[in-house]
Every structure is written in C-alpha cells, then in structure tokens.
Amino acid sequence: MIYLDNAATTFPKPPQVLRAMTGVMERFGANPGRGGHRLALQAGRVVEACREAAAALLGTSPERIIFTRCCTESLNLAILGFVRPGDEVVCSHGEHNAVMRPLARLVAEQSVAVKVLQPGEDGVLSAETLRQALTPRTRLVVLCHASNVTGVVQPMADLGAVCREKGVPLLVDAAQSAGVLEVSLDALNADMVAAPGHKGLLGPHGTGLLALREGIAPAPLMVGGTGSMSESILQPDILPDRYESGTLNLPGIAGLLAGISHLRRHHREIVQREHALNERLRRQLGQLPGVMLLGDEHAPRVAVTSIVPRQGDAGALGDALDRSGVAVRAGLHCAPAIHAWLGTLQSGAVRFSPGMYTTEEEVDGVCALVERLTRHS
C-alpha cells in the first residue's frame, strides 16, 4: 500500500515511537500522578518529560501544556471553555468542523455571534480583513494555520499581531502545521495553540495538546480526580491539573515524547523532503487534463494537495485508488466551509498528503495511475 494520507495521521510511525509505547507498558505501566510508589513515579517522569518537550515546541511553560486525546478536544476546551453567552467569535473560511461545530453549538445555545471571514483569491486572509471584523464585542478569534484541503498557510504572525493590537485573544488550530511550521505562541502572536499528537508530531493516535499563554484560563471541559487536592470536592485551579482529570494516556504520551524527540533531531530534512514530494506531486497532477488542482499556485503551503476529477466522482476516484493500493482521503475532509468557498461542496475532492517515508517513485507511480483513471475526462 502506498500511503498518501499523512494529513489524517502520519503512518508509519518512527520505530522508536512503537518501542516507547510498548516499553512503558512492559516496565512501569502504573498510573502517573496517582501514587507515590516507584512505578507511578517513573510513569510520571515520562509524562513530565513529554510536557517539557511540548512546551519547548509551543513556547510556554510546561504546566501550561495540557494533554488531550486529540486536537478536536483541545479546540473544544479552548472554545467552549472561553466563550461566554452573547459573545462574538471571528473565524476564517478554512475552519474544520472541530471549530465550526462547537461554534454552532454556542450560536444555538448561548446566542453567540460568529463572523466567518473570506480570504483573497489566493486563499490567504489579510490582516486588514481581520482588523475590520473585530469589534468591542469580539471575545475570541479562531484561525486555522494551514488548510487540510488546500494546504495553504495563513500569515498567522501578522493576523495575531492584529489581535494583539485590538486586545482580542487568538486561538490557532495547528492541526496541519504543528511539527512542520513554527507554532510557538510568541511566533504566532497567539494566546492558545491546539495541536494533534498523531500528525506532524509523529506520535500515536489518541494524543493532543493545548498550549495556553499566561493569563488565559478557559473553563475545563471535564472535572474529577487529578491526584491533587483530593480533600476538596472542587476542581483544583493549579495547572495542568485543572484540565487533566482522570487517568492520562501513558503509552500515548510516551509515544508522543519519542515522536517529538525524533522530529527535533530531523525536522529540517523531514520538512524539506515532504515539501519536495508535495511539489513533485502538484507539478505532475497539475498537468493532467482530467483533474482540477485546488489551491493557489503561489500561496505558501504544507504538504497537502487536493484534486477534483473533471468528470466522475471524487469518491469513486478515491475508491479506485484504494483498489490499486493507494491510500488517499476523498470527500469533504470535515471542512465544508472551505469547500463551499472553493465551489467543491457538492463534488468533494481527493486529497494526497505525502510523508517522510514516501518516495519519489511512489509519487510518480500514483500520478501515472491518476492519469490512467481520469483519461476519459
């Protein structure tokens, strides 16, 4: 199988990720933070080592790194825990349903107003467009850093500077950029950054992160046992305990630590390789008469390429590729807002996302296969 669905989750994982996960379960799979015996303390040290590695990546103090089970949970925690009834939220045309559905819930249940900003023709949101949208009522700006459909990257530092100027907190969805681009809070001028552990950070499924700037304190989504202040029935205010009720995903966090460690050692070569493979893919697919390439040619992008067959169905093309041994993602990619902007809400698209283990020969072979499958067009 040729795997070109790394935008959904990176696969395969570095071998050390698998070794780290099995290692903690074999040697000290106790409950971190839930006991004073040596096994629990060893487990806790793994958790804190991962927290420190993530803090270095995201530019905050370790206690302000919150472990979640996915980027979606991180976004829900940030949005639902921060926005109040009657507030206004500003977001972009490129948001995933992990943002749009929590916002829709707030609109329906708490009379929150949502402004969805439209970009220029190149898919890039301008700082001036954002500036004009902000009002004294705006409680939060939520922006997708890199599109999971077109790969186009937003100028987040400039957009964040506008938010700083206006005193409005910025939440960045770094689902496609964490591990690829600079995503620290300071670099993005952000107040919260949500990231998955299982994509660019090379960790396992079931891991996610939320980084909080000093002074930002959304209400927790869940309360319960934290291993601290057990004498009180009230949720602790100390971080990260305020947000981490229940047993943490020790094997997942161990794998995430190994993934981040591998990424830090090889970041430049991984990013350069994925970029080169994606440009090779775009160049060849863009020459095929039977498909339409999505995304502006000159806009900055991560390693994501989507096409629409000029005849036939995107889902059918995805199925045909699967039968031929190629794994891609066909459909709306849980991002209907950007598909509506692209005019592909009815057709959907086929997304290709190479990873660090993809080869040039695989890219060339897949492009030749797409040409054969769409030749009738």
The DSSP symbol for 312 reads S
User: Are 109 and 21 members of one domain?
Assistant: yes
Report whether 50 contacts 262 (CB < 8 A). no
Report whether 278 contacts 301 (CB < 8 A). yes
Q: Output the pTM of the full model.
A: 0.97
Report whether 33 contacts 259 (CB < 8 A). no
User: Are 257 and 182 members of one domain?
Assistant: yes
User: Are 256 and 276 members of one domain?
Assistant: no
User: Are 292 and 355 members of one domain?
Assistant: yes
Q: Quote the pLDDT of residue 340.
A: 96
Q: Quote the pLDDT of residue 312.
A: 86
Rounded Cα–Cα distance for residues 275 and 262 (Å): 18
Q: For residue 147, what are its two tokens?
A: 């599109």
User: Are 294 and 324 members of one domain?
Assistant: yes
CATH of the domain at 335: 3.90.1150.10
Q: Quote the pLDDT of residue 135.
A: 97
| Domain stop point among 213, 246, 261 | 261
| Domain stop point among 209, 232, 261 | 261
Q: Please give the chain's pLDDT, 377 residues, in tens.
A: 999 999 999 999 999 999 999 999 999 999 999 989 999 999 999 999 999 999 999 999 999 999 999 999 999 999 999 999 999 999 999 999 999 999 999 999 999 999 999 999 999 999 999 999 999 999 999 999 999 999 999 999 999 999 999 999 999 999 999 999 999 999 999 999 999 999 999 999 999 999 999 999 999 999 999 989 999 999 999 999 999 999 999 999 999 999 999 999 999 999 999 999 999 999 999 999 999 999 999 999 999 999 999 998 999 999 999 999 999 999 999 999 999 999 999 999 999 999 999 999 999 999 999 999 998 65
User: Are 152 and 274 members of one domain?
Assistant: no
H helices of the chain, in order, are 15-27, 38-58, 71-82, 97-110, 127-133, 156-166, 185-188, 250-285, 314-323, 336-342, 360-373
User: Are 273 and 154 members of one domain?
Assistant: no
User: Are 306 and 164 members of one domain?
Assistant: no
Number of domains in the chain: 2
Domain housing 246: 15-261
Please count the residues of the chain.
377
Q: String of b and e for 257-280 (b: at least 16 CB within 10 Å)?
A: bbbbbbbeeeeeebbebbeebbeb
User: Are 242 and 291 members of one domain?
Assistant: no
| Domain stop point among 209, 237, 261 | 261
User: Are 155 and 295 members of one domain?
Assistant: no
User: Are 257 and 274 members of one domain?
Assistant: no
Q: Quote the pLDDT of residue 4.
A: 98
User: Are 115 and 80 members of one domain?
Assistant: yes
Rounded Cα–Cα distance for residues 72 and 79 (Å): 10
3-class SS of residue 61: coil
Q: Strand 170-173 and strand 192-196: pairing? A: parallel
CATH of the domain at 221: 3.40.640.10
